[in-house]
Amino acid sequence: MPKISDEKRNARRAQILEAAWVCFQKEGLHATTMEDIIRASGLSAGAVYSYFKSKDELIIAAVTTSLTQLRGLLEPLLARDPLPDQLIHQVVAAVGTFAARDKYDLRRIALLGWSEAQRNERLRATMREFYLVFRKQIEAAATRWKKAGVLKAGASADDVAKTLLSLILGFVVQSAIVGDVDADDLAGGLRQLAAGRR
Amino acid sequence: MPKISDEKRNARRAQILEAAWVCFQKEGLHATTMEDIIRASGLSAGAVYSYFKSKDELIIAAVTTSLTQLRGLLEPLLARDPLPDQLIHQVVAAVGTFAARDKYDLRRIALLGWSEAQRNERLRATMREFYLVFRKQIEAAATRWKKAGVLKAGASADDVAKTLLSLILGFVVQSAIVGDVDADDLAGGLRQLAAGRR
Amino acid sequence: MPKISDEKRNARRAQILEAAWVCFQKEGLHATTMEDIIRASGLSAGAVYSYFKSKDELIIAAVTTSLTQLRGLLEPLLARDPLPDQLIHQVVAAVGTFAARDKYDLRRIALLGWSEAQRNERLRATMREFYLVFRKQIEAAATRWKKAGVLKAGASADDVAKTLLSLILGFVVQSAIVGDVDADDLAGGLRQLAAGRR
Amino acid sequence: MPKISDEKRNARRAQILEAAWVCFQKEGLHATTMEDIIRASGLSAGAVYSYFKSKDELIIAAVTTSLTQLRGLLEPLLARDPLPDQLIHQVVAAVGTFAARDKYDLRRIALLGWSEAQRNERLRATMREFYLVFRKQIEAAATRWKKAGVLKAGASADDVAKTLLSLILGFVVQSAIVGDVDADDLAGGLRQLAAGRR
DNA sequence: GATGAATGAGTCTTCATTCAT
DNA sequence: AATGAATGAAGACTCATTCAT
DSSP letters of chain D? -PPPPHHHHHHHHHHHHHHHHHHHHHH-TTTS-HHHHHHHHTS-HHHHHHH-SSHHHHHHHHHHHHHHHHHHHHHHHHHT---HHHHHHHHHHHHHHHHHSSS--HHHHHHHHHHHHTT-HHHHHHHHHHHHHHHHHHHHHHHHHHHTTSS-TT--HHHHHHHHHHHHHHHHHHHHHT----HHHHHHHHHHHHHS--
First to last CA, chain B: 74
- Does D131 sit within 8 Å of C112, measured CB to CB? no
Q: Average pLDDT in the C174-182 region?
A: 94
CA distance D126 to B135: 83
Residues of C in contact with D192 (CB under 8 A): 151-152, 155-156, 159-160
Cβ-Cβ contacts under 8 Å for B92 (sequence gap 6 or more): B168, B171, B182, B183, B186, B187
- pLDDT level of residue C1 (50, 70, 90 thresholds): low
Say what the pLDDT of residue D4 is.
66
CB of B187 closer than 8 Å to CB of B92: yes
Measure CB to CB from residue B159 to each of A131, A178, A192 and give the nearest one: A192
Phi, psi of B169 (to 5 degrees): -60, -40
Cβ-Cβ contacts under 8 Å for A53 (sequence gap 6 or more): none
How much is the CA Rg of chain B, to the nearest whole Å? 20
Taking 70 as the threshold, does the pLDDT of residue C66 lie above it?
yes
CB of D38 closer than 8 Å to CB of D45: yes
Q: Which residue approaches F11 most closely, CA to C1'?
A: C33
Question: CA nearest C112 in D: which residue?
Answer: D115
| Cα D26 to Cα B78, C33, C59, C120, C185, distances in angstroms | 70, 22, 19, 11, 36
Q: Which of C123, C143, C152 shows the shortest CA–CA distance to C81?
A: C143
- In chain D, % of residues over pLDDT 90: 76
Backbone φ/ψ region at B33: left (φ over 0), alpha (ψ -120 to 50), beta: beta
- pLDDT level of residue C198 (50, 70, 90 thresholds): very low
Say what the pLDDT of residue C105 is.
85
Taking 90 as the threshold, does the pLDDT of residue D177 lie above it?
yes
**Single-letter code of the amino acid located at B121:** E
Say what the pLDDT of residue C51 is.
97
Distance in angstroms, CA of C47 to C1' of F14?
12
Least confident span in B6-10, C77-81, D2-6: D2-6
CB atoms inside a 10 Å sphere around CB D11: 12
Q: Average pLDDT in the B74-93 region?
A: 93
Residue ranges of alpha helices (H) inside chain A are: 6-27, 34-41, 45-51, 55-79, 84-100, 106-117, 121-147, 157-177, 183-195
Taking 80 as the threshold, does the pLDDT of residue D23 lie above it?
yes
C28 touches strand F (CB under 7 A): no
C35 touches strand F (CB under 7 A): yes
- pLDDT level of residue B106 (50, 70, 90 thresholds): confident
Measure CB to CB from residue B169 to each of A170, A190, A196 and give the nearest one: A170
DSSP label at residue C52: S
Q: Average pLDDT in the B134-156 region?
A: 94
Annotate C68-113 with DSSP letters as a single string: HHHHHHHHHHHHT---HHHHHHHHHHHHHHHHHSSS--HHHHHHHH
Residues of B in contact with A167 (CB under 8 A): 163, 166-167, 170
Q: Average pLDDT in the C154-170 region?
A: 96
CB of A168 closer than 8 Å to CB of A88: yes
HSE (CB half, 13 Å, CA atoms) of B31? 16
Q: Average pLDDT in the C29-39 region?
A: 96
CA distance C38 to C46: 9
Say what the pLDDT of residue B181 is.
95
Q: Is the dihedral of CA C91, C94, C99, C104 positive or negative?
A: negative
- In chain A, % of residues over pLDDT 70: 97
Question: CA nearest C185 in D: which residue?
Answer: D159
Taking 60 as the threshold, does the pLDDT of residue D198 lie above it?
no
- pLDDT level of residue B1 (50, 70, 90 thresholds): very low
- Does D131 sit within 8 Å of C174, measured CB to CB? yes
- pLDDT level of residue B177 (50, 70, 90 thresholds): very high
- Does C177 sit within 8 Å of D117, measured CB to CB? yes
CB of B66 closer than 8 Å to CB of B126: no
Say what the pLDDT of residue A197 is.
53
Least confident span in C10-14, C101-105, C114-118: C101-105
What angle (nearest 5°) sits at the alpha carbon of residue A150, between those of residues A146 and A154?
40
Q: Average pLDDT in the D69-79 region?
A: 90
> Hey, of B105, B167, B184, which one would you mutate to test binding to chain A, going by the most A CBs within 10 A of its CB?
B167
Positions of chain F reached by protein Cβ under 7 A: 1-21
Q: Minimal Cα–Cα distance from C125 to chain D, Å?
A: 9
CB of B197 closer than 8 Å to CB of A193: no
D and B interact (at least 3 Cβ pairs within 8 A): no
CA distance D79 to D92: 16
- What's the CA dihedral at C20, C23, C25, C27 to 10 degrees? -130
Q: Which residue approaches E19 most closely, CA to C1'?
A: A1
- Does D185 sit within 8 Å of C163, measured CB to CB? yes
Cβ-Cβ contacts under 8 Å for B99 (sequence gap 6 or more): B105, B106, B107, B108, B175
Distance in angstroms, CA of A126 to C1' of E6?
43
Measure CB to CB from residue A198 to each of B29, B161, B194 and give the nearest one: B194
Cβ-Cβ contacts under 8 Å for C135 (sequence gap 6 or more): C161, C162, C165, D178
Say what the pLDDT of residue D98 is.
78
Taking 70 as the threshold, does the pLDDT of residue B143 lie above it?
yes
DSSP label at residue C30: T
Say what the pLDDT of residue A1 is.
65
Taking 80 as the threshold, does the pLDDT of residue C52 lie above it?
yes
Taking 80 as the threshold, does the pLDDT of residue D168 lie above it?
yes
Q: Average pLDDT in the B137-162 region?
A: 95
CA distance A170 to D51: 63
- pLDDT level of residue C138 (50, 70, 90 thresholds): very high
- Does D194 sit within 8 Å of C196, measured CB to CB? yes
Q: Minimal Cα–Cα distance from A75 to chain B, Å?
A: 19
Phi, psi of B120 (to 5 degrees): -120, 100
- pLDDT level of residue B197 (50, 70, 90 thresholds): low
CA distance B96 to B94: 5
Distance in angstroms, CA of B35 to C1' of E3?
14
Say what the pLDDT of residue B195 is.
79
Question: CA nearest B84 in A: which residue?
Answer: A193
Mapped onto helix, strand or coil, the DSSP state of residue C195 is helix
Positions of chain E reached by protein Cβ under 7 A: 1-21
What angle (nearest 5°) sits at the alpha carbon of residue D44, between those of residues D40 and D50?
110
